[in-house]
Structure 1
Amino acid sequence: MENCTIYSHYIAIEKIIPILKQYFPSAQIEITGTEQNWSQLKLTIGKSLWKKGNTFTVYYRQRLHPDYKLVLSEEPLIKNLISLYNFVSSFPAQNPAIYNRLLQKITTLNVEISFVAEPGFTDTHIKCILSIAQALDGIIFSNPNSVFQALGMYDKNGVLLLSNTGKSDAETLDVSIESKYYDKVSGDEPDERKDRTNGLLQSHGIAINTHLPRIVNKSEVTIRTPYEIAERVTVLSLINLVAFNSVEPLDAIQYFKQYGLWDKVTANEKDLLENPTQSKKDQATWQCEGIWVLLWALGKAEAIPFPDHLCSLNDLDFYPFQGFDQDPNKIIQQLDHRRTDTEILDNADLYYRIDWACVNARIKGQEMAIVHPGVVYERHFALNWLIRNRDQEWDDVTCDT
């Protein structure tokens, strides 16, 4: 018998059974509960009249009240997560950055999925487990076995994050938090949002300024409409391809004019297209971060990743510019939904305060190793545009802290 456990911040129980069926299409599955709400799955694999078959059992539990931090509780899963935190924190660490990120990630966990294979793991078991880990952005705890050979924690790809001897093979670890989990804990009052954000920053070891003012409340702001956001991100998506030398500037100009979007191109963007230089293009490549934020606001990206590295737009399933033969206005019209005011304001407040920490570190001559200051600035910029900070248009947005 061999076992391991996935821990995840994301609650997505509905994703697990389809993945199991994908890897074990002929298995018999006994469900304790329903397909939408179960605590145990028992898969019998290879059973026939002449063979008993092997078993693969999956156990699931989640926090009663999902959160982004650990608070002492008698809830069994909370107690187990605190024990896991204490156990991992006792490990030595050859890579302090991974060690600290791992401890931060443990505090955000909401879900535990345990796997038991009899007589042991096969290649198919491991592919299935890693697919679930990837779907839930999970981390894996395992005792030594035929696959995970060291006692310790592994990332969603099965790479060793930290063993009990301090060894680490990983280069990075993302720590992502869904705002909806802490939205429910507090209301929408700006002072509560500020306190909530500061608590989140503290959990990541990011400096806070308790005297930094609050941002606007829902009643004080008119966040941009889905149509405005869709127009802006559609223009940006083609400018981005010009910046990366994938599209010729003159072709982009012709496209914008053909479909009536030239007046939506800003003065700075027109300067880039009409007088292109590599320096201007290099600067424009940073707008990948703003594109991600705007697509997130339109619900086309699941989350805004932790800002410790540049985003990759190739990771998205949707991109606004879909070819010169496609009418962008039809795409814009279809992007008719955006996230709630609370979600957008929460992230605007978050990046406002992270940006302050970056500026503070720069003024003091300190390295900002926890986050990437350039990434933070570009996302802060896009969020300020979304909330109409000072009623500034795209070229004029400021990120004062």
Structure 2
Amino acid sequence: MITSELDNCPPDEVREASEIARRALALFGVVGLGLGAPHSEIYSWLREENLWDELSPSELAYVSAKEPTRKQSIDATWKSEALAVLLWSLEKTEYLPAITEQCDTSIFQELLPPYANISPSEFIASAKRRPDDVLIGMADELMDYHWQVRDAQIHSKPTDLDIEIIQERHHAINWVIGYDGAPWDDVTTDT
């Protein structure tokens, strides 16, 4: 019998709302740092709110760095697109801008602690997610957009689609739906 690496992956399983909520809070810290929030405040908040262990290895490297690289900071700001998908997945917002528009990061402060009038533990406890079929439908839609932009790149065709926006959103929804059961840093965006 021939086996592959994929045979060792757990089956796809949509993640629980509380797991998505913890991921959103940790990612909010990363995005905030990328957007210029004081490092000491982000570091302390993640520690104090027991979110430190929610950071992925790449996020941990970024948050722990005394002097993050420019690329790390740019990558962190792009994660705002993933955060928007997580919040949409949790029904915290209907706001998910058009696929050609970057998200408005100011909405995060309206929805997420420590700025919103809710503690991290309350945010997690009150989390609920959209139905599986809606989440899977979004994953299919984002995969289609991702294929369209890749096809345009391969064939040197013009497109108004933005690969960075699509890739971050596709990554986030694939994590939400448990694509290949992969952890955050290892989620793929196959097309």
> 2:130, 2:95 → 1: CA distance?
11
The answer for the alignment partner of 1:85 in structure 2 is: none
Of 57, 78, 88, the match for 1:296: 88
The answer for the alignment partner of 2:52 in structure 1 is: 262
How many residues of Structure 1 are paired with residues of Structure 2 in the alignment? Answer: 178
Judged with a 3 Å threshold, the aligned counterparts in structure 2 of structure 1 residues 301 and 327 are, in CA distance, closer, same or farther, namely: closer
Q: Deviations for 1:222-254, whole angstroms, at most 9, x for unmatched residues? A: 211110010000111121110011x22233222
> 1:278, 1:321 → 2: CA distance?
26
* Deviating 4+ runs (over 4 angstroms): none
> 2:108, 2:58 → 1: CA distance?
26
8 Å CA contact retained: 1:237, 1:321: no
> 2:18, 2:85 → 1: CA distance?
15
The answer for the alignment partner of 2:103 in structure 1 is: 311
Of 332, 342, 345, the match for 2:133: 342
The higher relative CO (CA closer than 8 Å, separation ≥ 6) is in 2
Judged with a 3 Å threshold, the aligned counterparts in structure 2 of structure 1 residues 249 and 333 are, in CA distance, closer, same or farther, namely: same
Mark the structure with the bigger radius of gyration.
Answer: 1
Q: What's the offset of the Cα at 1:319?
A: 2.5
Q: Deviations for 1:155-198, whole angstroms, at most 9, x for unmatched residues? A: xxxxxxxxxxxxxxxxxxxxxxxxxxxxxxxxxxxxxxxxxxxx
- If the length of structure 1 is used for normalisation, what is the TM-score? 0.42
The answer for the alignment partner of 2:70 in structure 1 is: 278
> 1:305, 1:342 → 2: CA distance?
20
> 1:262, 1:291 → 2: CA distance?
17
Q: What's the offset of the Cα at 1:221?
A: 4.2
5+ residue gaps, structure 2, are 1-10
Q: What is the correspondence of 1:1-400 to structure 2 with a 5 Å cutoff?
A: 221-245=12-36, 247-275=37-65, 276-315=68-107, 318-323=110-115, 327-335=119-127, 337-369=128-160, 371-400=161-190
Give the residue type in structure 2 aligned to 1:322: P
Give the residue type in structure 2 aligned to 1:228: E
- 1:241 aligned counterpart, secondary structure: helix
Judged with a 3 Å threshold, the aligned counterparts in structure 2 of structure 1 residues 315 and 252 are, in CA distance, closer, same or farther, namely: closer
> 1:305, 1:259 → 2: CA distance?
30
> 2:180, 2:12 → 1: CA distance?
10
5+ residue gaps, structure 1, are 1-219
- If the length of structure 2 is used for normalisation, what is the TM-score? 0.85
Q: Deviations for 1:113-162, whole angstroms, at most 9, x for unmatched residues? A: xxxxxxxxxxxxxxxxxxxxxxxxxxxxxxxxxxxxxxxxxxxxxxxxxx
> 2:186, 2:38 → 1: CA distance?
26
Q: What's the offset of the Cα at 1:367?
A: 2.5
Structural RMSD (CA): 2.0
Which structure has greater strand proportion?
Answer: 1
Q: What's the offset of the Cα at 1:315?
A: 4.3
